Amino acid sequence: MAVGLFSPVRADEIQIEGVTITSADVSQLLAALHTAMRPNDSTIPVVVSIKSPSEMPIYDQQTHYAGLQDAAGARTMHIWVRSDLKGADAPSALLAVFALALTDGGYGGPDFKKLYDVYAAKDAQLPANAADPFLYRHKFAAALSNMIQSGESKVGNPSPSPTQKPDSNPHDVA
């Protein structure tokens, strides 16, 4: 199942699910990622919890975005990371889960937040017994991770396409 993510509009913008994303939006998301992934930085309220393999959801064995939570009057994004996370897929898994959290938290800008909400709404329409209740958000996160890792600075030039990555990771866009 493919998620139609990236379709060029102009050289510096793309349409994704009816939302226009510009190069400036991508730059904002990249800056937020850079800040959020800095060790001991509390500028962006991300809580990372280390979980044993048995505590991880069956559909999210490496990392899991546990959502926005209110605590002491502040909204924080909660990420779970498997305690024994390692291997070649670890950096991609971390990048994807952070990108997902930051888009939900609005740190990638209002348009990336709209996209997160679109995919969350699609996930909400999945059957209650769906094998992956985060299916569309996982595809969105994987596409963001692929776009970032490919070193794209312009959103209108998605090459290689985020939807064409081999099926080596359960979060890949199929």
89-118 pLDDT, tens digit each:
899 899 999 999 999 999 999 999 999 999
* Residue 2 banded pLDDT, cuts 50, 70, 90: very low
Residue 35 covered by a domain = yes
Residue 20 covered by a domain = yes
Alpha-carbon distance of 27 to 107, in angstroms, equals: 11
3-state DSSP: the chain helix, strand, coil percent, rounded to 5? Answer: 35, 20, 40
pTM for the complete prediction? 0.79
Q: In the predicted model, is pLDDT for residue 84 greater than 90?
A: yes
List, for residues 12-46, the tens digit of each pLDDT value.
788 888 898 888 898 999 999 999 988 888 899 99
Residue 59 covered by a domain = no
Task: Identify whether 160 is preceded by a cis peptide bond (ω within 30 of 0).
Answer: yes
Token pair recorded at residue 105: 């938290």
Number of domains in the chain: 1
Residue 22 covered by a domain = yes
Task: Judge whether 101 and 70 are in contact, CB under 8 Å.
Answer: no
The confidence score (pLDDT) of residue 148 equals 84
Q: In the predicted model, is pLDDT for residue 11 greater than 70?
A: no
In single-letter form, the type of residue at position 74 comes to: A
Which residues constitute the domain of residue 103? 7-42+95-164
Residue 100 covered by a domain = yes
The confidence score (pLDDT) of residue 15 equals 84
Handedness of CA 118, 120, 125, 130 (dihedral sign): positive
